[in-house]
Amino acid sequence: MLPTTIVLSVIAIILIIVNAKKTGKHYEGLKSGMRLLLQSLPLILCAFILSGMIEVLIPVEFVQNWLSKEAGMKGIFLGSFGGMLLAAGPYAAFPIIAAIMVSGAGLGTVVSLITGWCLLGLSKAPFETAFYGVKFFIYKLIASIPFCLAAGILAHIIEIVLM
């Protein structure tokens, strides 16, 4: 956890310096980031509570049978379509995905879950249909499914071979 924080801090400092030199709006960036953090805080806290409850409620047998490395394709299918139903922004979705991962989900399931959430997530549906129509939304959804499954299968192979 600490190395990630250090890496992120270094990148943040570099961006502040670049912003200060290029635009002179680095304070504005800090303010904007803090404003976003304060706005998102209730959402993040609720997501943490939800993820904690998922972690204690999710039955071990379910994870072993359906989501673990041993579950194979079942976990990848469930991950892809679970991601679609995870209709929430990143501040809420990632703690939930992390809780599923901590419960023992396999890499294939986790990657297909994230990819499913990215590509199939129903939270974007109202915008896609409003701007480009139902037909576009359905075609994009159908076209995206193989990508989620392929990403999950690749991750599953990586887990079997390398981990």
Partner 1 sequence: MKKSLISIFVPAVILTVIAFVAGGSGLVMKGFTISMNTALRTALMLFVSFVLIGQLQILITKEVLERLLQKLSGLKGIIIGAIAGGLFPGGPYIYFPFIQSFNNKGMPFYIFITFIFGKNVYDFTRIPMEASLIGPNITLIRNLITLPVPIIAGLIARRFYKNRTIESILMKEGEKHAADNNSS
Backbone CA torsion sign across 132, 136, 140, 141: positive
Instruction: Among 79, 97, 109, 149, indicate the residue that binds partner 1 (CB under 8 A).
Output: 97
Binding flag, residue 141, partner 1 (CB under 8 A): no
Binding flag, residue 26, partner 1 (CB under 8 A): yes
* Segment lying near partner 1 (by CB under 8 A), choices 68-76, 77-85, 125-133: 125-133
CA 45 and chain centroid, separation: 16
Token pair of 46 as six digits: 């609720």
Instruction: Among 11, 85, 138, 142, indicate the residue that binds partner 1 (CB under 8 A).
Output: 11
Binding flag, residue 49, partner 1 (CB under 8 A): yes
**Cα–Cα distance, 3 to 12 (Å, whole number):** 14
**Cα–Cα distance, 116 to 136 (Å, whole number):** 18
- Nearer residue to partner 1 within complex by CB, 53 or 73: 53
Question: Roughly how many angstroms between the first and final C-alpha of the chain, as a whole number?
Answer: 20
Instruction: Among 60, 65, 73, 132, indicate the residue that binds partner 1 (CB under 8 A).
Output: 132
H helix or E strand, kind and range, residue 129: helix 125-162
Binding flag, residue 18, partner 1 (CB under 8 A): yes
Instruction: Among 76, 78, 107, 149, indicate the residue that binds partner 1 (CB under 8 A).
Output: 107
